[in-house]
Structure 1
């Protein structure tokens, strides 16, 4: 009987190890910490190898602090945070000021944002410099980032797990471009790239002022989107790198979505107490940009319309700087553009249901 018990324990241990090994490996490359990160961290079949940070909505040092603190709140300090690029490859705050003087005002400038051009319901974020001390409203992290550069970490992980690592990028693509330039085999060694960025021809579909305020950015400039506009040169490098598979979530499907107070309350109710407080404090009124990227990777069945296109980004310093460029196969310039599955529409209710369900996964595991 004792021998049988020992054998059973061994078999269960082997089964647990196999289950761990079968989890899908992912690296999150982003400029902060939000619901998208929680979705991937909570998913039981996902192994988050690390979070790499980059400047975009905020500077990289602030994004790193936000990720560290978010992981502490989520009880996932086992996940390393690796700080990445502070500056875009070529673009800069001064260049953006010069561009605006020539071609008009940008709706959102991320870390360079000082005020909205016109009144909006969304709060105006405080302005910081790239080296300013970081103090977060939710408390400063006690954990520290990994002693490594994000581009090197990305290369190291795809070389450790060739063909297994998905990279989900929801900010500017600077880290990925640097990794590709450092190691030309980088993109081909990854399993796939999923990123939120670019814009084709979004149309406002929700009948409320809050969402409309964000859609106004695309009325006259439908091909411009912040992540790619912040570092167009990086976006172009990544678009022409030899990935095995690329999935792009442009702005277009996000106009059907919104981070409403009701959705946040549903998620908070499903989450454990520490996460519930964190989720409940989030500001409502934003589309679910990054959450779509995580959602379509976790559940591709929520994609209701997709299109295969060849994608690049405009790197000429003119009125279309950073705009998304797209072609069907026979019309592409053939300068290295890669085919990408572009998500056009999704099942919004299915995404929201997934978000709520995932918030309860950790409680079940406990």
Structure 2
């Protein structure tokens, strides 16, 4: 029996009992859905996890430039929803460019301070040989053919910042925001509406880096570890738009959970892992089977700890900000323990240090296997 059918049946039973003068216990309401908006510069396993999780209502997917230009990220989100059979969820387009950073400024920075391992939409070539394929370099208004097929679904006409503002006003204190890309949309929303962050339930974001260490022995893991060894506070999502990250981190959120690079060094989107989690014959699993790129599970960790906070093995509370000076440390994370922060609006964040990787993998497999 469907839930709506069950509800009608229950109401008829209560009505009949009333007519017969029989008292019946009042049934408890079903567990309320958790509301979430996912803001990202792409669409993959993390989004599908949240879509397929029980008792979760995805209010929308917002897109922003980062790993891909915003228009390409939008195309991936639309196609991802088609594959999942969830065309009821809106995709709203966000910022195309960072608030102040740019490709030319990044080229200038590299000429002064050395090469970046990853530049997202601005990436033309790897600095060294690597197992990962290089996304095709193209202008912001070009959307190449997607490997999953091109979407027929169209995005919402609403702007991402305005959409998020509208949602937190419509559902005050109920909307969680999972941010797995640069924070440009969040900064714009906060500047447009100073109440924005305070009306949300929480912000969970993947970004930043404290002091990660190589945990795996693969070539891909070693490549990322070389960057961490020399620049432990640098991470792409924050580095792409440092000013937006600083604005967002100073906003009055009720709760902020930071998922830095640190816990991801125990994870990898390896062929073995993909084969295990995509064993089911579902539309999503068939796409995931082709997704072994050997990158760490950055966004998946953020989605997983939002879905199940008990996956967090260790964490710490820190005040966090971003270096926005155009220097060798531009975009690096700044952090302080209680009492040491400058106290100019920094917010306390719960910083995830390690997660239960076996349980997280089991959660991913369970969600991806669902029909």
TM-score category (smaller protein): over 0.9
Which residue of the partner structure matches residue 96 of structure 2? 86
Which residue of the partner structure matches residue 302 of structure 2? 293
SS in 2 for 1:148: strand
Q: CA deviation at 1:354?
A: 0.5
What is the aligned counterpart of 1:97 among 90, 107, 111? Answer: 107
Q: CA deviation at 1:10?
A: 3.7
Matched, 1:33 2:43: yes
Which residue of the partner structure matches residue 17 of structure 2? none
Which residue of the partner structure matches residue 282 of structure 1? 291
SS in 2 for 1:357: helix
Which residue of the partner structure matches residue 138 of structure 1? 148
1:65–1:134 CA contact under 8 A, matched in 2: no
Partner Cα distance (1:101, 1:56) in 2: 21
Matched, 1:126 2:136: yes
Which residue of the partner structure matches residue 22 of structure 2? none
SS in 1 for 2:194: coil
Partner Cα distance (2:7, 2:316) in 1: 53
SS in 2 for 1:26: strand
> Deviations 1:176-230 (Å, cap 9, x if unpaired)?
0000000000000000000000000000011222211122221100000000000
Which residue of the partner structure matches residue 8 of structure 1? 9
**Alignment length (residue pairs):** 354
> Deviations 1:217-263 (Å, cap 9, x if unpaired)?
21100000000000000000011000000000000000011112122
Q: CA deviation at 1:283?
A: 2.9
2:316–2:352 CA contact under 8 A, matched in 1: yes
Matched, 1:153 2:163: yes
> Deviations 1:247-288 (Å, cap 9, x if unpaired)?
000000000111121221222113x42112111111331100
Write out aligned runs for 1:183-198 (5 A): 183-198=193-208
Greater CA drift, 294-303 or 126-135: 126-135
Could you tell me which runs of 5 or more consecutive residues in structure 2 were left unpaired when the two chains were aligned. 1-5, 14-25
TM-score, normalised by the number of residues in structure 2: 0.92
Q: CA deviation at 1:18?
A: 5.1
1:61–1:134 CA contact under 8 A, matched in 2: no
What is the aligned counterpart of 1:167 among 174, 177, 181? Answer: 177
Write out aligned runs for 1:204-219 (5 A): 204-219=214-229
Partner Cα distance (2:118, 2:143) in 1: 23
RMSD: 1.8
Matched, 1:109 2:119: yes
Detail structure 1 runs of 4+ shifted over 6 Å in the superposition: none
Which residue of the partner structure matches residue 330 of structure 1? 339
2:178–2:303 CA contact under 8 A, matched in 1: yes
> Deviations 1:109-151 (Å, cap 9, x if unpaired)?
0000000011111111110110114321211100100001000
Larger Rg: 2
2:274–2:292 CA contact under 8 A, matched in 1: no
Partner Cα distance (2:213, 2:88) in 1: 41
Partner Cα distance (2:28, 2:271) in 1: 39
Partner Cα distance (1:206, 1:139) in 2: 33
What is the aligned counterpart of 1:304 among 313, 330, 348? Answer: 313
What is the aligned counterpart of 1:246 among 249, 256, 262? Answer: 256
2:282–2:369 CA contact under 8 A, matched in 1: no
Which residue of the partner structure matches residue 353 of structure 1? 362
Partner Cα distance (1:65, 1:125) in 2: 15
Write out aligned runs for 1:28-67 (5 A): 28-67=38-77
2:201–2:255 CA contact under 8 A, matched in 1: yes
SS in 2 for 1:235: helix
SS in 1 for 2:230: coil
